[in-house]
Chain A
Amino acid sequence: MYDKLWLIPFFPLLGCVINGLLGKRIKNETIIGGIGTLAMVCSFALSCKYFFQLLGDTVKSHEVVVASWMTVGQLQVDWGFLLDPLSAIMLLVVTGVGSLIHLYSIGYMHGEEGFYRYFSYLNLFAFAMLMLVTGNNALVMFVGWEGVGLCSYLLIGYYFHKKSAGDAGKKAFVVNRVGDFGFLIGLFVLFWTLGKEHGVWTVNFLEIGANAHLLGNGSAVVTLVTLCFFLGATGKSAQIPLYTWLPDAMEGPTPVSALIHAATMVTAGVYMIGRMNGLFALAPDTMLVIATIGASTALFAASIGLAQNDIKRVLAYSTVSQLGYMFLAMGVGAFSAGIFHLMTHAFFKACLFLGSGSVIHAMHHAYHHAHLHDDAQDMRNMGGLRKKMPITFLTFLVSTIAIAGIPGFSGFFSKDEILWWSFASTRGHVILWVMGACAAGMTAFYMFRLVFMTFFGEQRTHAKAKDHIHESPLVITLPLMVLGLLAVVGGYLGVPHVLGSVLGHIPNYLEHFLSPVFAQTQEMYNISAHGSAAAEFGLMGISIGIAVFGIFLAYIMYIKNPSLPGKFVGAFTGLWRAVFNKWYVDEIYDALFVNPTKRLGTFCWKGFDVKVVDGIVNGVGKLVNVFSNTLRYTQSGFAHNYAMTMAVGVVVILTFYVFR
């Protein structure tokens, strides 16, 4: 029934191979972009077909094994795919948003050198991401996990002639490696413990889920395993302490930031926890760590976002912050709320990134026309773009309202459910709720600050470039419109129960759909959110109030009284400078980890390699030289000497044989 599931990742792989091998000869951008986009659309169509097929199916979990990968002892690993509600949702998000971003890229990357290379990488990324979300065992997932990391590296460093882009790519790769180390260790320990002590040699997700309870609720080993997996998730999903690579990753082309560093790859960690929810639920300590780290990241990244001037950097910190929300949800056991926020975030954040890309595109174009070299990403050079770019503005505004959490838009539903769970869940805590709510206020503030600085107020663009700013072509605005629409309506898939019953029995479709994956775990380990409807409405009101206050503050500071931010900076110079410099985290990491590592590397190079290794090699050479220099004196060239040597030799040998 679902046996063509492998085709979903296969289409992008095909697109990658075609563009990668033939792209240089094809040259025509429309064809190259068309192939890349078509591959994604095919995957999307097939995902839709299977999604609806799954909706009507009574069995909600289907494994499709394409081939055997390896058989070692009692371990059997397959190239297997798993279709269940969780992977179906991820498939729709990845292929749907992916298709739109591929389409957008045709317009955005127009005229770039290496156009085919870009599309080849982007397709390769889609392939790896689809392997990640459909794999039925941890090893296939790990193939995708590493694959997306590689593509991320390649695409961040797409403008490799720029040193900053190359450095950012390396940073992303190295930081992710730290996380991958955790993922692998976790997998090894899990595999070994399950196999050695319980006789279940497996890496298959369904089997892990079914046998996880053997490890014992809250046991040390399960805590260790889940913490290691979570370390992997912090690397891939940019959480404290490994989030530093994501803001730097903005060196890549903007559609890449939208697809990889906002909508899909960075959510892999959330997906992974959702996929192994049965394991994570066994470790309440780990869950608490996840929730705490998630809430802290949400708050911390939002605070940095308050003071950034680069439009993409604001969005990058916003992404880190929103990912924190998802981890908060996972940590308090609100798995379906986390996946729900993952989905709505994919819509509105992709729309925001693509919108910022549209603005940057227009600014770049205008500066290029006017022969200026101003920064096309600095919001201080923008302002008043509302009238110049109406479609971009509208979609951007809609998504901003969605992320700020204004009722009726998608972000409100998902964020509010997370906040409710963090307050009322059996694994939640009121402090977590306070942190989440504060972060929500900051989010509303910095996002509207971004909108006001970019689209409202006076035009601060250089006079010569001003008149060259135009709305982007349809190929760019069409994905914006679709994503903007999704950012509005996407939320109605998961209307919270308390709100749904008031509004006329709107069920929480998403939670219901995902329940085959999560409900059993939540029931088994007594994870639920209980509270009166009044309390839920009250909290909802508070979070709306905080959001509105944030927007109002942004309005006062950036529209009503634009001199206010300057005064604020003057009054709190130290604090402002710390926030503007990202709390000096990069500098601290440099001092604590990077520089010691570099020093160790230098020592290994100059101390060990040059002196010891090279010393041994060169020493052997020198020794041979010394010996041969001594021995060559025997080569006198006088026949007498040779004859004498021979005679003496004969005598010696004879003496030896006679007298031995």
Chain B
Amino acid sequence: MFTVTVHHYLVVSAILFSLGTIGVLTRRNAIVIFMCVELMLNGVNLSFIALSHFLGNMDGQIFVFFVMTVAAAEAAVGLALMIAFFRNKESIDVEDFNLLKW
């Protein structure tokens, strides 16, 4: 019989995190990058919860609450930034925001 162990959770978590990372590194649309960052955070959250359950310790669950709160705040700030970008450049392509350079 197939049993779901903590390893499976961790593998899923790692896959989610890697997908997010690759997305951040490869995509140009700021909103997609932003969503990829959320994906990375959720990958991490999954591993927190899995380990918390496995170890019978509630600390991980509490940590996830914090991460979610911060992610929500980040979403608010990030979306506001993107609106500001769009107003300036009529674009949310990150390639267009390259003023900080030599």
Do residues A647 and B25 form an inter-chain contact, with CB atoms below 8 A?
yes
**Stretch touching chain B among A25-33, A273-281, A636-644:** A636-644
Cβ–Cβ < 8 Å partners of A632 in chain B: 102
Residue of chain B at shortest CB distance from A650: B21
Query: Is the Cβ of B99 less than 8 Å from the Cβ of A640?
Result: no
Q: Which of A633, A639, A640, A647 contacts B21 (CB 8 A)?
A: A647
Q: Give a binary string over A94-119; 1 marks a CB under 8 Å from any B CB, 0 the rest.
A: 00000000000000000000000000
Is B46 part of the contact surface with A, judged by Cβ < 8 Å? no
Which residues of the other chain, A, contact B24 by a CB distance below 8 angstroms?
643
A633 to B101, CA, bound (A): 9
A640 contacts B100, CB within 8 Å? no
Contact B98 A633 (CB under 8 A): no
**Which of B33-62 touch A at CB < 8 Å?**
none
Tell me if B21 and A636 are in contact (CB < 8 A). no
Q: Which label, helix, strand, loop or mixed, suits the secondary structure of the B interface? A: loop
| A629 (CB) vs chain B CBs: closest residue | B102
User: Counting CB contacts under 8 A, is A58 at the interface?
Assistant: no
Q: Give per-residue flags for B64-102: 1 if the beta carbon is below 8 A from chain A beta carbons, else 0.
A: 000000000000000000000000000000110111111
Q: How many chain-A residues does the 8 Å CB contact rule pick out?
A: 11
Q: By the criterion of a CB under 8 Å from any partner CB, how many residues of chain B are at the interface?
A: 12
CB distance from B14 to the nearest CB of A (A): 13
Give chain A residues whose Cβ lies under 8 Å from the Cβ of B28.
640
CB-defined contacts of B100 to chain A, threshold 8 Å:
635, 637
Contact with B along A622-660 (1 / 0, CB 8 A): 000000000011011111100110010000000000000
Report the bound CA distance from A559 to B25 in whole Å: 113
Contacts of B99 in A (CB 8 A): 637
Chain B residues within 8 Å of A644, by CB: 25
* Inter-chain contact A638/B98, CB cutoff 8 Å: yes
Residue of A nearest to B101 (CB): A637
Whether the pair A640, B94 counts as a contact (CB closer than 8 A) is yes
Residues of B within 8 A of A633 (CB): 102
Write out the residue numbers on chain A whose beta carbons fall within 8 Å of the beta carbon of B102.
632-633, 635, 637
Instruction: Identify which of B25, B94, B98 contacts A636 (C-beta below 8 A).
Output: B98
Q: How far is the CA of A637 from the CA of B102 in the complex (A)?
A: 8
Write the chain B residue with the least CB distance to A651: B21
Find the B residue at minimum CB distance from A639.
B94
Residue of A whose beta carbon sits closest to that of B95: A638
Interface residues of B in 13-37 (CB under 8 A from A): 21, 24-25, 28
| B-side contacts of A640, CB under 8 Å | 25, 28, 94-95
Is the CB–CB distance between A637 and B98 below 8 Å? yes
Report yes or no: A635 in contact with B101, Cβ–Cβ below 8 A: yes
Chain B residues whose C-beta falls within 8 Å of the C-beta of A637 in the assembled complex: 98-102
Is A636 a contact partner of B97 (Cβ separation < 8 A)? no
28 A–B pairs (Cβ distance < 8 Å), ordered by A: A632-B102, A633-B102, A635-B100, A635-B101, A635-B102, A636-B98, A636-B101, A637-B98, A637-B99, A637-B100, A637-B101, A637-B102, A638-B94, A638-B95, A638-B98, A638-B101, A639-B94, A639-B97, A639-B98, A640-B25, A640-B28, A640-B94, A640-B95, A643-B24, A643-B25, A644-B25, A647-B21, A647-B25
Q: A637-B98, A640-B28 are in contact. List 4 more A-B contacts (CB 8 A).
A: A637-B101, A638-B94, A638-B101, A639-B94
List the interface of chain B (C-beta within 8 A of A): 21, 24-25, 28, 94-95, 97-102
Q: Lowest 7 CB-CB distances: which A-B pairs, in order? A: A637-B101, A637-B98, A632-B102, A639-B94, A635-B101, A635-B102, A637-B100
